[in-house]
Amino acid sequence: MKFKVNDSCISCGMCAASCPEVFHMTDAGVAEAIPDDVAPELEASAQDAMNNCPAGAIEEA
């Protein structure tokens, strides 16, 4: 499973704080997901970050 952050990111950093193994903040100040498949043990955490994103900016890729 892969995730991506779309253009509606509001730079709140919630995803990076809750699942730093998958999401990080770029130098431009927006979130970005790792380009690789998420390890099975991190999928639930990444999905929680997706479901809790206040802007709905995270989606499955």
Four-residue CA torsion sign, 36, 1, 49, 8: positive
Mean pLDDT, residues 22-39 taken together: 97
pLDDT at 44: 98
Bridge partners (DSSP) of residue 32 are 24
pLDDT at 26: 97
Q: How many CA atoms within 13 Å lie on the side-chain side of 37?
A: 4
pTM over 0.85: yes
Mean pLDDT, residues 22-26 taken together: 98
3-5 vs 58-60, strand pairing mode: antiparallel
Q: Is 14 left (phi over 0), alpha (psi -120 to 50) or beta?
A: alpha
What domains can be seen in the chain, in order of their start residue?
Answer: 3-60 (3.30.70.20)
